[in-house]
Copies of this chain bind each other. A is one copy, B any other.
Amino acid sequence: MDVFQVTFVNENKTISVKEETTVLEAMRMAGLSADAPCGGMGTCGKCQVKVDGALCLSCQERIEEDITVETLQREKSHRILVSGTKREVPFLPFLSVKNVQIEACRIGESTSDWDRLCLALGGTAKDYEPNLSVLESIARILREHQGKARIVLRGDRILDVRPQGAAPVRMAAFDIGTTTVAGYLLDGESGKELASASSLNPQTEYGADVIMRADYCLKHGSEALADCIRKQLGKLLKELCRKDGCVPEDIFQISIVGNTCMHHLFLGISPDSLVHAPYNPSISCPLILPAKDYGLEIYPFGEILMLPVIAGFVGADTVGCLLAANLEEEEKMTLLIDIGTNGEIVLGNKNRRIACSTAAGPAFEGAKIACGMRGAEGAISHAHLENGKVKCQVIGGGRPAGICGSGLIDVLACLLEAGIVDESGRLEESCPLSEDGSVYLTQKDIREVQLAKAAIAAGIRLLVDKMGISMEEISQVYIAGAFGNYMDPKNACRIGLLPSELEDRIVPVGNAAGEGAKLALQNRDEFARARRLALHTEFLELAALPEFQDCFIDELEFPEQTDAIRQEKRKNGY
């Protein structure tokens, strides 16, 4: 087998690869980040590069001679939503920090240093559990610091013993999304948020959605994806600490939410069970695990709190949203929708909750759309009709480079209103969205949006049926996630993504999943509440419902008329 040289011009890197290697594989071997949301199937077109000057899809191009590769300029700054509606809870964390005075041992006594430390905490040796680091440091603190110690503990586990006034105690919360990762740094002694940071989920290189990544794991094992996300959390931890002026070793506890697949991949669990019926998770209960087993280089005896998952496709991120929305205590009938790469929907209140997952797909994140892109600079994010023409707003104000989810909804609403697209979704010819025609909407794009919005709309309708209520009985609609935050509620109803009856009750709640992760750190009762929420939220498997197909097909059509007209009709008794 021959070996060829691949030179990456922009990166000034040359590597040797075997014959038949694809350019995409070569990019990964060279350590270059490669965007291939379709998983290298040749369908998304996002992995374009220039090979010896000619444009081609890097995933499809096999290397059969020495080549030069020119990577194309990638999106530079991503608009990832990190903030969410905050719920204030008393600061009552698992982690507690205590400054104590350990008494010296008197002549004639033989009580151990550890016994006296436990006594200073108000207990006996039987009540607490030490670790290697604690055992090694007690004697020194007693000797060199006259027994003035700062103790960090979680329940009966003494995590750390240091001289008073030593380094700060920090905690971090993460929301691992299929596409993006958001991280937060909190103070361990007040719960106050000190910094936030976000990034793309580098697992995207192995496929845009969870199914593609799970498929990759079935073929190649889960190690690469586990390693990939753990390293990314490590990078975000460093960034968070840099912003705060602390170091990762100051972090004693990390909480993590994410959909079930992200949850499993972080833990190194094969997502095998998620790709075969009955799509059950491998583990769903809340977990407290040693951080070092999972490659997170925080305090050596630091811990990870994994929030529980509800089902194979209703994960810990949804539980985080339920926690943030406090659905265990909410009296009002609430609809909670988290539209990410998948769409999870929960309907209920303190008495009963039902959750489902819809295969909405990543259309609203710009994938599978000809000119789709994430909500970054250059994306059409909003649009309105002006004199019968679609007027677009572009993030950053420059020339449009593509269209993101909220833009798609607005443009479609405009096209429906203007009659350019009919109820069935038919579009006569591609619709230009930029002056030069480089950004446009195709018939296929509209079909993708129809599939996505029908999935969510059908999910809502079936949950309402299952709950045995009418749509009007829903008091509030919480929309979580970045797309939900930027989306125009009126237009979301106009295209039938959300029921028009609920238009006036829509409240964007931002990154509610991340807020839930923070709550679990700030108050240990919230972590216990997460367990109850996960355990006592029913899961509705839409695909198993006989009426699902019918309902889904019904929802594929766009609503006939604008709300104004519809309301007029209703008044007249139609």
The reply to whether B269 and A105 form a contact with Cβ atoms under 8 Å apart is no
Whether B267 contacts A105 by the Cβ 8 Å rule is no
A194 at the interface (CB under 8 A from B): no
Taking a contact as CB atoms under 8 Å apart, the answer to whether B109 and A278 are in contact is yes
CB neighbours of A541 from chain B (8 A): 108, 110
Report whether A280 and B140 are in contact in the complex, using a CB–CB cutoff of 8 Å.
no
With A135-B267, A139-B273, A268-B132: A281-B110 Cβ-Cβ less than 8 Å: yes
**Distance A544 CA – B108 CA, assembled complex (angstroms):** 7
Question: Does A166 touch B at the CB level, under 8 Å?
Answer: no
Q: Is residue A499 within 8 Å, beta carbon to beta carbon, of the partner chain?
A: no
| Inter-chain contact A279/B130, CB cutoff 8 Å | no
Instruction: Evaluate contact between B294 and A132: CB separation under 8 angstroms.
Output: yes
* Interface bin, chain A: 35 or more
A506 interface contact, C-beta 8 A: no
**Given the complex, which residues of B lie within 8 Å of A126, measured CB to CB?**
285, 531
The B-contacting residues of A in range 106-136, CB under 8 angstroms, are 106-115, 125-126, 130-132, 135-136
Q: Assess whether A107 is in contact with B277, with CB atoms less than 8 Å apart.
A: yes
A342 adjacent to chain B (CB < 8 Å): no
Task: Say whether A284 contacts B132, CB under 8 Å.
Answer: no
Taking each of A106, A113, A142, A143, which has the highest tally of chain B beta carbons within 10 Å of its own beta carbon? A113
Query: Assembly of this chain: how many copies?
Result: 2
**Given the complex of chains A and B, what is the CA–CA distance between A294 and B106 in angstroms?**
31
Q: Mark A39-69, 1 if CB is under 8 A from B, else 0.
A: 0000000000000000000000000000000
B272 touches A143 (CB 8 A): yes
| A113→B282 CA distance, assembly (Å) | 5
* A434 at the binding interface (Cβ < 8 Å): no
Q: Are B114 and A284 in contact (CB under 8 A)?
A: yes
Complex CA gap A113/B283 in Å reads: 6
Say whether A310 contacts B110, CB under 8 Å.
yes
Interface centre among A285, A289, A310 (most CB of B within 10 A): A285
Q: Are B125 and A284 in contact (CB under 8 A)?
A: yes
Tell me whether B110 and A283 are in contact (CB under 8 A).
no
Collect the chain B residues with CB atoms within 8 Å of residue A112's CB.
280-285, 309
Q: Is A21 an interface residue (CB 8 A)?
A: no
- Chain A 456-480 near chain B by CB (<8 Å), digits 1 or 0: 0000000000000000000000000
Shortest A443–chain B CB gap in Å is: 37
Least CB distance from A302 to B in Å reads: 14
Closest to A110 in B: B311
Q: Given A132-B268, A273-B139, A283-B138, answer yes or no on A278-B106 (Cβ-Cβ < 8 Å).
A: yes
In contact, A132 and B289 (Cβ under 8 angstroms) = yes
The answer, yes or no, to whether A312 is at the interface (CB within 8 Å) is yes
Residue A4 is within 8 A (CB to CB) of chain B in the complex: no
Interface mask (A249-290 → B, CB under 8 Å = 1, otherwise 0): 000000000000000000111101100011111111101010
Q: Considering only CB atoms, which chain B residue lies closest to A223 in the complex? A: B136
**Can you give 10 A-B contacts (C-beta < 8 A)?**
A110-B281, A110-B312, A111-B280, A112-B281, A114-B283, A115-B283, A115-B284, A135-B282, A136-B270, A139-B282
10 tightest CB-CB pairs across the interface, nearest first?
A125-B285, A114-B283, A110-B311, A112-B284, A132-B293, A105-B280, A112-B281, A113-B282, A107-B278, A139-B282
Known: A126-B531, A132-B289. 19 other contacts (CB 8 A): A107-B277, A108-B544, A110-B312, A110-B539, A111-B284, A112-B281, A112-B282, A112-B283, A112-B285, A113-B273, A113-B280, A114-B282, A115-B283, A131-B289, A132-B267, A135-B282, A136-B267, A139-B273, A143-B272
